Amino acid sequence: MKDQLIYLLELQTIDTKVKELEAARQGLPTRTEPLRRDLGKLETMLGGERQKLAETEAWKKQQAELLAREQEALRAAKGKLQGSKTGKEYNAASREVDNKRKSIHDREAELKKVSEALSGSAAVIEERDGAIAGLRAQLAAEEAEIATKVEDLARQIAEASAGRDELRARIDKGWLKTYDTLAGKRGYAVSPVVGGTCQGCQMRIPPQLNNILARMESLEMCPRCGRIIYRKEMIEPPADAAPEPPPA
């Protein structure tokens, strides 16, 4: 029975270590999530600004075309003014020339404003582009670092798991099943008894059971937490064989 207990303790040491490494490995990729989220938001914002810029540019182009047409109309109106034969014709052509001049003036002012706004938003977009490129580089560097750590942890897990299958093969199937169930439900399955107290649940075990444990003839379970128990002083396992009991 002592052999079985020692195998179970060895298995527990391996499983505890592997579980710890697995938790570290699983936690790693989530570290870049805040940065990834920020980057996504900035990219969406920038996309909106680019769209607005494109729309304003299209509008500006349209205004420039209208301006060209008005300038042509002004030339025609000036021609009419020169060719006017009556005072009535002259007045009408003169009004037309004035009107065209005014609308050309207004449109030119409008175009100037739009051009200024365009160069302003182009500068903002360029600046944001730079910031986003910086964040992308930061994310890539962090991801590369994480990938290295994940690989390293995978190697450590493989190392820590060495001999686990052979160990399990040596353990009685019934106890192995108990061990697996307890490990799943309670975090760990085998607990030392120190001074008559189960270290898994801090319950004092009946003195009779404590005496049975001293004989090392059978595997016993704690009446309260159900863990497989043993008298610590009978085994003196390595310090890390039994994990710290969870805080009550």
Q: Is 113 exposed, middle or buried (0-12, 13-18, 19+ CB in 10 A)?
A: exposed
Kindly tell me which of 160 and 199 has the beta carbon lying closer to Zn ion.
199
Kindly tell me which of 75 and 224 has the beta carbon lying closer to Zn ion.
224
* Least spacing, CB of residue 234 vs Zn ion, in Å: 17
Kindly tell me which of 11 and 229 has the beta carbon lying closer to Zn ion.
229
Using the contact rule CB under 5 A, the part of the chain among 10-18, 20-28, 164-172, 195-203 near Zn ion is 195-203
Asked if residue 182 binds Zn ion (CB under 5 A), the reply is: no
* Least spacing, CB of residue 222 vs Zn ion, in Å: 3
Kindly tell me which of 192 and 200 has the beta carbon lying closer to Zn ion.
200
Kindly tell me which of 48 and 246 has the beta carbon lying closer to Zn ion.
246
Asked if residue 213 binds Zn ion (CB under 5 A), the reply is: no
**What is the SS3 assignment for the chain?**
CHHHHHHHHHHHHHHHHHHHHHHHHHHCHHHHHHHHHHHHHHHHHHHHHHHHHHHHHHHHHHHHHHHHHHHHHHHHHHHHHHHCCCHHHHHHHHHHHHHHHHHHHHHHHHHHHHHHHHHHHHHHHHHHHHHHHHHHHHHHHHHHHHHHHHHHHHHHHHHHHCCHHHHHHHCCHHHHHHHHHHHHHHCCCEEEEECCEECCCCCECCHHHHHHHHHCCCCEECCCCCCEEEEHHHHCCCCCCCCCCCCC
Asked if residue 225 binds Zn ion (CB under 5 A), the reply is: yes
* Least spacing, CB of residue 156 vs Zn ion, in Å: 31
Asked if residue 222 binds Zn ion (CB under 5 A), the reply is: yes
Total residues contacting Zn ion (rule CB under 5 A)?
A: 6
Asked if residue 200 binds Zn ion (CB under 5 A), the reply is: yes
* Least spacing, CB of residue 28 vs Zn ion, in Å: 34
* Least spacing, CB of residue 223 vs Zn ion, in Å: 8
Asked if residue 201 binds Zn ion (CB under 5 A), the reply is: yes
Kindly tell me which of 198 and 241 has the beta carbon lying closer to Zn ion.
198
Q: Is 11 exposed, middle or buried (0-12, 13-18, 19+ CB in 10 A)?
A: buried
Asked if residue 198 binds Zn ion (CB under 5 A), the reply is: yes
| Residues found near Zn ion in the complex (CB under 5 A) | 198, 200-201, 222, 224-225
